[in-house]
Amino acid sequence: MNFNAKEKIAVVTGSSRGLGYVFAEALIIGGAKRVYINSRSKDACDKAVSSLSEFCETHGKSTNIVAIPSNLNNGAGVRKLVDGVLANGDSKIDILIANAGASWGASFESHPEEALSKVIDLNLKGVFLTIQQFAPLLSKPQGVDPSRILINASITGLYSSKNGNVYGYTASKAAIIHLGKTLALQLPERYNVNVNTVCPGFFPSRMSNGVLSKFGKDYIKENPRNRMGDARQDLIPLILFLCDEKTNYLNGMVLSVDGGYHLNGPNL
């Protein structure tokens, strides 16, 4: 069975690199008509447009890649992203992947207030505001294939760890998991939108490499699948599965993509 995002219009926040970039690749592979990518940095956005356009050519796809630089930690930044989509001629979109996020590690005793504010503003407040402001663009009549919102959380939002010192990150990821459940009860009726949450385990990335340099070997040893996550191998099929019209009854799901590692009660 083929799962795809054919002719869909999608917005992926925080997508100039990392998992967000792979989510954009997934939509290209799935035949999306247009994918909006986003980052705080214009340079990062421009580089991502160039490399994703090459990815399109390599895979024989005609997806239009559009970048809108914006910081999504406040309402004005989110509005800039929405207005950019509207200015490009899209008054409706089909898919929103709320991926933009940040982390900060410091001991309990020295953890600064500004670090908590920075992380929670982007990871929690920014996710809520992004969904809130894009909801009118996602709205569809009842009875047709619903639009999709995917929230990218983390397995660190599902468990506690004695070794964790990324307090704002883990708290914000737990919060958006619960936010996704709440919105999954409300948005289908109001907007005909399904809301699902993806909780990746540890995938090598700029954000996770610091933790993996200390605990990576333990993670592999304790993981039932005995390996790290591979973003393209493990996440691209899942994104297309969740966005395909054949899975329109999937709503309110919290999907761990970690080889089953979180079942151990991890200590990372």
**What amino acid positions are annotated as catalytic residues?**
169
Length of the chain: 268
CB distance 103 to 166 below 8 Å: yes
Sheet holding 193-200, edge to edge: 64-67, 34-37, 9-12, 95-98, 147-152, 193-200, 254-257
Look up residue 125 and give its two tokens: 């407040």
C-beta neighbour count of 38 within 10 angstroms? 30
Please, which residues have CB within 8 angstroms of residue 199's CB and are 6 or more apart in sequence?
153, 154, 155, 157, 158, 173, 177, 254, 255, 256, 257, 258, 262
Closest to 65 (Cα-Cα) out of 44, 77, 48 = 48
Is 151:243 a contact under the CB 8 Å cutoff?
Answer: no
